[in-house]
Amino acid sequence: MPETWTGNLIGKMHNKDVTYDELAEEMGVTKSYVSMILNGHRRPPDIRNRMEVAFNSIIQRRNGVTVDELLSDQGEG
């Protein structure tokens, strides 16, 4: 059975038009593997964090935010 966080991530992906293909490419895995994780068939260590980081990277890239900008913003707080 899938965990709650996977449903939340799928909802965010739907709202932001992020596909399994995009997420898989960002993570360096296959679309099938992403599907297995999101459907609760695989539970590798730290996968929630890895998937959320990949999702956020896709959104940030679409919005024109670079990793360097994000890191510099965190240092200014």
User: Per-residue confidence of the chain (77 residues) as pLDDT tens digits?
Assistant: 778 999 999 999 999 999 999 999 999 999 999 999 999 999 999 999 999 999 999 999 998 876 677 667 666 54
Distance CA 42, CA 6 (A): 12
Report CA 76 to chain centroid distance, whole Å.
Answer: 25
Q: Which domains, ranges and CATH numbers included, belong to the chain?
A: 4-76 (1.10.260)
Strands (E), 1-77: none
Using CA atoms, how far apart are residues 17 and 1, in angstroms rounded to an integer? Answer: 24
Measuring CA to CA, which residue among 12, 3, 14, 22 is closest to residue 61?
A: 22
Specify the pTM. 0.79
Q: What distances in angstroms separate CA 38 from CA 2, 11, 45, 57, 64, one per listed residue?
A: 7, 11, 14, 18, 27
